[in-house]
Amino acid sequence: MIVATKSKVVEMIRKRYPEGTRIEVISLYDPYLKLPPGSRGTVSFVDDIGTIHVNWDSGSLLGLINGQDRYKKVTTPI
């Protein structure tokens, strides 16, 4: 079994969700967050631990945690 290093996982996330990518929430790990399923936003960057930072259309700046939150790509930047 091959295990990817953390830096390789982060690079894969960065390639899949580059700046400008539109993203939609399916569900969030934290039930107290006020970002409902179907909320959309634009990726601003992926940090060094793989958190996807998003500028949500609602004005929130909540980051998504890979492996905990569920989300999908809606569009890819041009």
Q: Give tens-digit pLDDT for 14-32.
A: 999 999 999 999 999 887 7
Question: Has residue 67 been placed in a domain?
Answer: yes
End-to-end CA distance of the chain: 36
Which CATH number belongs to the domain containing residue 16 in this structure? Answer: 2.30.30.30
CA–CA separation, 49 and 34 (whole Å): 23
Question: Has residue 68 been placed in a domain?
Answer: yes
Half-sphere exposure of residue 78, counting CA atoms within 13 Å on the CB side? 0
Q: Which domain holds residue 70?
A: 6-75
Write down the pTM of the prediction: 0.86
Q: Which of 61, 59, 69, 55 is nearest to 13 (CA)?
A: 69
Total structural domains within the chain: 1
Question: Has residue 1 been placed in a domain?
Answer: no
Q: How confident is the model at residue 47 (pLDDT cuts 50, 70, 90)?
A: very high
Question: Has residue 46 been placed in a domain?
Answer: yes
